[in-house]
Amino acid sequence: MTAPVGKITREDTIKMDGADPIAHLRERFELPEGDIYLDGNSLGALPLGVMERLEVAVKKEWGQGLIRSWNDADWYPAPQRAGAAIARILGADDDEVIVCDSISVNLFKLLVGALRMRKDRKIIVSEIGNFPTDVYINQEVADLMGCELRCVMPEEVEAAISAAGDNLAIVQLTHVHYKTGRIYDMQGITKKVQDLGGLVIWDLAHSAGCLPVQLNDCNADFAVGCGYKYLNGGPGAPAFVFVARRHFEAMDQPLRGWHGHAEPFAFTQEYKPHPTIDQMLTGTASQLATLALETALKVFEDVDMNLLRQKNMALGDLFIALVEQELGGMNFELASPKEAEHRGSQVSLIHEEGYAIMQAVIARGIIGDFRAPDILRFGFASPYVRYIDIWDSIAHLRDVMEMREWDQPKFKERRAVT
């Protein structure tokens, strides 16, 4: 859907909601009355059914079933089941994705494992400005494995890949940038790296659940991603890891634990990796969190990812058009690509008073977030954000600016989580 021509009105956005083919998905969520939630890219909203599932899991399965529930309530294969549900929205096979640990930990496993598959090569390429945990883990693994980490600006990534030549081991990139929302060409970069004999690890934190990712069509090697952002798995939900089946045999991940063993309940002293994706597991799953994520994923069961994508592109286009229409001369600068196809499911604005402005807007119930030093981030989770929400958010933002509402000490005090 394209934004109307000429001056956009609130009426127009009501019409856009009326014509939205996935408007009904909003009913699948518990949303706070009166708030507009534009932070599903940081913590997804609560899908209906999760609370009930957890209540059964705690009261009945844990409380009454106790240890029997690992078998009787089918707890044990929950990481595989949740992995399969994620695989379906990432263009992977059901048994190529598993849910466990955090992105940070899974990235560590993949990096070391992938470097062990390219022992004679010494260069890891990544991006300056990548998500900090990715940078820290990349650097740590490079040091640990005697490799060189080359971080370059996004527009220099392809040149850095070519320059590494046959010393290129790994390229590690975040598909959709967490601050700007800029999207890398997964297919093109994967091919370029593989032509040189390297391997690619994609971080899908801001892709899974909002873009129609096609891991196998892109011949991707490895990926990690987040359970608590667009997948709505709940605060600190476990992450996921993808390994292309062709790498199952060569993969040798370093965090060897009993759940990654071929026979965890044989309790042998020698480690023997599981031949399947299960080898990526380390210890016992955080069971309640895994069950919450598994339940949350039902939202996507019957959803066409292309429709989700079309909607978040349209929401972003509308937001940008309204920034231009309503916030002119207020010193906002667009930090995201203007063209929808190069932009993920968010729009970021730069403003030197960004922190205070965001706090003032949040106080009005418009919930986005702030990323240092000066970025206001607005995420558009297609399943529950409406077109009218975009209109109302911009109207509040304009009020906050016109009345200098942000210019108060209480909005400038930094809290622990931004």
Position 39 contacts ligand PLP (CB under 6 A): no
Catalytic residue flag (residue 228)? yes
| Cβ nearer to ligand PLP, comparing 354 with 379 | 379
Among 15, 104, 139, 256, binds ligand PLP (CB under 6 A): 104
Position 300 contacts ligand PLP (CB under 6 A): no
Torsion of the alpha carbons at 140, 271, 95 and 137, rounded to the nearest 10: 0
Catalytic residue flag (residue 203)? yes
Torsion of the alpha carbons at 48, 54, 57 and 58, rounded to the nearest 10: -150
- Please state, in angstroms and as integers, the Cα–Cα distance from residue 322 to each residue in 48, 143, 332, following that order: 32, 47, 12
Position 382 contacts ligand PLP (CB under 6 A): no
Q: 203-232 mask for ligand PLP (x: CB under 6 A)?
A: x-xx-------------------x------
Q: Give the pair of three-digit tokens for residue 200.
A: 């690619």
Question: Quick one: which segment of 47-55, 131-139, 356-364, 410-418 binds ligand PLP (CB under 6 A)?
Answer: 131-139
Q: Which residue out of 20, 39, 101, 203 is catalytically annotated?
A: 203
- Vertex 397 angle, CA 328 and 21, to 5°: 100
* Helix segments in 268-383, DSSP class H: 287-296, 305-326, 354-363
Among 133, 194, 286, 418, binds ligand PLP (CB under 6 A): 133
Interactions with ligand PLP, residue window 188-207 (CB under 6 A): 203, 205-206
The count of residues interacting with ligand PLP (CB under 6 A) is 13
- Dist. CA 294–CA 227, nearest whole Å: 10
Question: Quick one: which segment of 77-85, 99-107, 121-129, 370-378 binds ligand PLP (CB under 6 A)?
Answer: 99-107
Q: Is 320 exposed, middle or buried (0-12, 13-18, 19+ CB in 10 A)?
A: buried
Q: Which of 179, 101, 105 is nearest to 136 (CA)?
A: 105
Helix or strand holding residue 133 (H, E): helix 132-144
Q: Which residue out of 228, 248, 319, 384 is catalytically annotated?
A: 228
- Dist. CA 79–CA 91, nearest whole Å: 18
Interactions with ligand PLP, residue window 237-276 (CB under 6 A): 239
Question: Quick one: which segment of 21-29, 98-106, 305-313, 350-358 binds ligand PLP (CB under 6 A)?
Answer: 98-106
- Helix (H) and strand (E) counts in the chain: 13, 15
Q: Give the pair of three-digit tokens for residue 210.
A: 């909002």
Position 134 contacts ligand PLP (CB under 6 A): yes
Among 13, 174, 253, 287, binds ligand PLP (CB under 6 A): 174
Q: Which residue out of 29, 37, 108, 131 is catalytically annotated?
A: 131
| Cβ nearer to ligand PLP, comparing 126 with 393 | 126
Q: Which residue out of 371, 377, 384, 386 is catalytically annotated?
A: 377
CB of 320 to ligand PLP, least distance (A): 22
Q: How many other C-beta atoms are found inside a 10 Å radius of the C-beta of residue 300?
A: 23
Q: Give the pair of three-digit tokens for residue 147.
A: 């490799």
Catalytic site positions? 131, 203, 228-229, 377
- Which parts of this chain interact with ligand PLP (CB under 6 A)? 102-104, 131, 133-134, 174, 178, 203, 205-206, 226, 239
